[in-house]
Structure 1
């Protein structure tokens, strides 16, 4: 986050974002799905602690045994969709890989443009080789432990 040096706890950064002059607002009736590093509060949904959470824990025909596990399974599935989208955006647009020297307004414009172009590509292309590549990477990483560790490190350039 802009203005923060070094590492800061997720909850501390969120609290700051909610208390700024032009603070983060969550529309009434909507929620952000957040991980266990945050506090469950209005507009933010965390998984139940002490319950199975990761999708690989429900493979091989296993089913949730409580309402809390069912919630965590759906929460995890939804977060995976979001993480997959961000992975695909970062594969497609190298400018999103790291921070750069642009101001916050330019960052917002860059991210918006990348999302709009991504949506146009999805609308116009029946076959997207980057999605296939991402699926391959995700299959290779399946079962290798923590989902947060399954990041894409290197993308080879192509003319597609």
Structure 2
């Protein structure tokens, strides 16, 4: 997995919806290609080209443990949750490769933005040109926090 759009510089306390709106309205901002969709979590609404899980339905993988989906909406939420887990894994790999991203920084924000962009670029280059990345075989620290979040694929 590679990063296709990175917008660093926002404080962690800012609501994701505000960051997304800013990314979309920028002249060189986030563009969703025709026929494609980006996944968003349950904090967002379903809007054009952004897919959130169905509200009022089970949407976390750990809630499906030993239970099969009963509705099409629950089935969608399972698949959505699996894809979100893959996205979270990509962030975990990024933080595992570049430890500076995993801890608090006291550098000026402009420097932090450059570091984040450089780390994402290097991550993408590694994903593109290095066939074997030993980092991907090691269990991530974040995986321990997500125990019970994984769902066995029935395909």
Give the greater-gyration-radius structure (CA).
Answer: 1
Match of 2:122 in 1: 113
Query: Post-superposition shift, 1:117?
Result: 1.9
Match of 1:35 in 2: 41
| Cα pair distance change 1:23/1:135, threshold 3 Å | closer
| Cα pair distance change 1:111/1:139, threshold 3 Å | closer
How far apart are the structure 1 equivalents of 2:11 and 2:145? 35
Match of 2:138 in 1: 133
Which of 16, 19, 23 is the equivalent residue of 1:13? 19
Query: Post-superposition shift, 1:6?
Result: 6.9
Which of 76, 100, 108 is the equivalent residue of 1:95? 100
Q: TM-score, normalised by structure 2?
A: 0.72
Pairwise CA RMSD: 3.0
How far apart are the structure 1 equivalents of 2:146 and 2:114? 35
Match of 1:44 in 2: 50
How far apart are the structure 1 equivalents of 2:141 and 2:12? 34
Q: TM-score, normalised by structure 1?
A: 0.71
Query: Post-superposition shift, 1:80?
Result: 0.5
Query: Post-superposition shift, 1:112?
Result: 1.2
Deviations 1:86-145 (A, max 9, x none): 112211221333565437566434311123224544x135xx3x43432686256414xx
Match of 1:65 in 2: 70
Match of 1:124 in 2: 132
- Which structure has more RCO (C-alpha within 8 Å, separation ≥ 6)? 2
Instruction: Decide whether the 8 Å contact of 1:89 with 1:118 is kept in 2.
Output: no
Number of residues of Structure 1 aligned to a counterpart in Structure 2:
140
How far apart are the structure 1 equivalents of 2:9 and 2:85? 29
